[in-house]
Every structure is written in structure tokens, then in C-alpha cells.
Amino acid sequence: MRIRPTLRLCLATAAMAGLLVGCADKDDSRDKHGEKKPAAQPTTSRSSQDTSSGNAPAWEPDDALQRAERALDAYDDGTNPKLVDTDTSYIADPLAKTYEAPGDRPYRLDITCNTDGIEELTLTLTRGDEEQPYGIGCGDPEADQFNIPPGKPFKISADPVKDGAGLFLWRLNTIAPEDVEGCEDDIKSC
């Protein structure tokens, strides 16, 4: 079971409240001579500010990139893919990349996204007049994979998310024809 960040925050807040209630009846306000101690000034840290406001920590590009790389590395199907290209794009920028697709080996696009508060983004695969949109799960533990036959140029694209914090990360590989799993042409769709 995967616990969402907001649920983790709620659970942590509930646990902290339980600890505070358990300590409430303990009186440490007097020193060893019985005199009242001055009240301690609260300290604020980034994590306490984030927790008290109910917001998760700010989205960090480096952390998001590491999570996205883990998603790309998570699936090992035993094939020996040959890397053609790897790239990244922020979701606030339009994603538009065209690949020529030469040769006789099928292509496999492994792509993932990691965002702040968005669970799914739409990726569109296009070749000539053929076009196929797909929902890409952001923050999923494994990347989405798409098969594209060689021979004709194709494009991957996504509309920008205005004021969005997040990124796409992908790898384009070629694989042996016998290693194609599922649909042979995800642009035509099966």
C-alpha cells in the first residue's frame, strides 16, 4: 500500500497531538527550587512551518528528478534495450520532441512524470495524421512504456501546465522485435 504525502502529514500530525496530550499533565514549569521557569520561546524550522500550515514541503526539482529516475529504472524485463535518447521537460513548458525512428528495431518510449499535486498528465503520441493521447501517472513507482515501430518519424508532446511544478523524464530505446510486449504500435493503438 502506498501512503500519499497528505495522508502522511495527517498521520504525523495526529501522532504529534497524541504525544502532546500524553505530556500535558506533566508540570516542568518549576525549577529545582520550586520557582516558576520562564516560558520557552518556540523555535520554528522549515518542517514545523510546513506542518503547521498544512502544506507538504515545497517541490524540489532535484528530488523529483531522482524519483523519476527510480521509476525509469524500476522495470527490468530482461531485454537489452539500446538507448537512443534521454531527456526531461518541465511541465510548465510545452513538451514537443520529434524522433526520426530510422532502422529496423522497434522503439520503446519509457516515460514518467513527477509533479507537485498533479496525479496524471496527458502525453500525446503523433505520427503523420495518427494521434493517440495517454494519461501518464505522476509519481508512479514504474514508468509508462509505449512501443513504436521504426520507419516513420513520430512526436511526443504535452500541453504546458500553467504555474505547474513538475517534470517529465523519458528514455527512448530500441529493442529486439521479439522483446516487444503488448501492442506493437501504441500510436495506432490496439
Instruction: Give the residue, 48 or 56, on which the prediction is more confident.
Output: 56
pLDDT number for residue 131: 97
* Torsion angles phi and psi, residue 30, rounded to 5: -120, 145
pTM comes to 0.67
Pairing of strands 130-137, 144-148: unpaired
**Confidence bin at 127 (pLDDT 50/70/90):** very high
| pLDDT tens figures, 6-30 | 334 434 444 444 434 444 444 444 4
| pLDDT tens figures, 60-105 | 878 888 888 998 888 777 778 999 999 999 999 999 999 999 999 9
- Quote the CA–CA distance of 1 and 8 in Å, as a whole number: 13
CB-based burial, 99-113: b 16+ in 10 Å, e otherwise: bebeeebbbbbbbbb
Angle between helices 46-53 and 5-23 (to 10 degrees): 100
Instruction: Give the residue, 59 or 84, on which the prediction is more confident.
Output: 84
Q: How far is CA 5 from the centre of its chain?
A: 12
- Count of Cβ atoms closer than 10 Å to residue 3 Cβ: 9
